Amino acid sequence: MRQIAILGATGSIGGSTLDVIAQHPDRFRASVLTAHRNVAALAELCARHQPQLAIIADPALEAELARRLAAAGVRCDVASGMDAIAAAAAGSLCDTVVAAIVGAAGLDSSLAAARAGKRLLLANKESIVMAGPLLLEALRVGGGELIPVDSEHNAIFQCLPGGRPDLAKSGVRRLLLTASGGPFRGRTRAQLSDVTPDQACKHPKWSMGRKISVDSATLMNKGLEVIEAHHLFSAPVEAIEVLVHPQSMVHSLVEYVDGSVLAQLGNPDMRTALAHALAWPERVSSGVAPLDLAAAEPLHFEPPDLATFRCLALAFQALREGGDAPAILNAANEVAVEAFLAGALPFLSIADVVESVLTELPAQAVVDIQTLGERDRAARTAARRVLRNAC
């Protein structure tokens, strides 16, 4: 039986993972559950799934979590802080880690799981965007395995022989990442000048947290996925393309040199990718309804509008620059999105902030996690300065 730590259990990925686990109590157990600050939701999940350890990231809330668990009659250890989450990811209570903490905050725990030789189900794309070479080296040293659970990368994983082979030797010509286009597909820049946070968070196909929903609306999420695909599959930037596919049924495609194109299809539900990653190389039921192609709407594909959705173009630019440019991109974007959600930055200015920070901080080599952390903080400081100057 696999013992699974779910880092970010109260989010959408965490909920989908727990749903799959609950369908297979003979195969999987949720042994560790963590949350950022949502004590009530974490306590409720603990009462339902009975983990051995519950961790709240905010130490000020540990006593409240312990009180709620005791009142509910839940017997499990309680801890708090990001260091405790990283320790649990590397610890003996789990052999599998679902890394679903949003943003740069999930990096340390993803690295800890990799170094400890765990099966790492990576939903925290920022970890590999920021520190791709360091994460892959940690996996190599630790002897663990990484299985992507972003629907696009999981689709590519399924369409490649052996999951993550040498692409050149496997006859792969291109990786084609599909994008829904978000809630604003087809709109012009003029039509996006007064977009509100609530409008940006209304994704047409997926139910996600607010930060990732905004990233989907700007297409930055797809840009981060391009960078992730580069690291996951050792694909050069010129071999990665994005196709807008609003039906979200084709999750990604792999084109081979003989003209064959393999695609992974399914209803837009993260439980499919999670069930695949949890059971790999076997297959188990995910609880997702079968795809009825005869009843489905026609499938449509189009190139992305890089002039309107500039964040995707900036992600390609950062990948071409190399080094820590993707980390700079990610940090600046997190600050800009936070400002947009707070009503302090127009939607279209998110890309302007990111571009300014990339210009101010030219790429440097990725040396170690300490240096990367310093550069991440420098990028956030620069982004906040850009915001202040813009107000």
| Binding-site sequence positions | 10-13, 37-38, 124-126, 150-152, 180, 203, 209, 216, 221-222, 225
Structure tokens at 113: 């799981």
Q: Are 125 and 151 in contact (CB under 8 A)?
A: no
Give 273's contacts (C-beta < 8 A, 6+ positions apart).
148, 149, 150, 151, 154, 155, 251
Q: Are 46 and 127 in contact (CB under 8 A)?
A: no
Binding residues for 1-deoxy-D-xylulose 5-phosphate: 125, 151-152, 180, 203, 216, 221-222, 225
Going by C-alpha positions, the residue among 68, 69, 38, 39 that lies closest to residue 52 is 69
Give the C-alpha separation, 172 to 161, whole Å: 10
Pairing of strands 96-99, 28-35: unpaired
Nearest alpha carbon to residue 353 among 325, 328, 317: 328
Residue by residue, DSSP assigns 329-344 as HHHHHHHHHHHHHTTS
Closest CA to 251 of 233, 231, 225, 227: 225
Torsional sign, CA 213, 217, 218, 219: positive
Q: Which residue has the tokens 């609003």?
A: 246
Please name the helix (run of DSSP H) or strand (run of DSSP E) that holds residue 222, with its range, or none. Answer: helix 220-233
The DSSP code sequence of 271-298 is HHHHHHHHHTTS----SPPPP-TTTSPP
Contact 371, 342 (CB under 8 A): no
248: left (phi over 0), alpha (psi -120 to 50) or beta: left
**Residue 165 to residues 232, 263, 311, 321: CA-CA distances in angstroms?**
10, 17, 29, 25
Q: What amino acid is encoded at 86 in this protein?
A: A
Detail the residues annotated as belonging to a binding site for NADPH.
Answer: 10-13, 37-38, 124, 126, 209
Per the annotation, binding residues for Mn(2+) are: 150, 152, 225
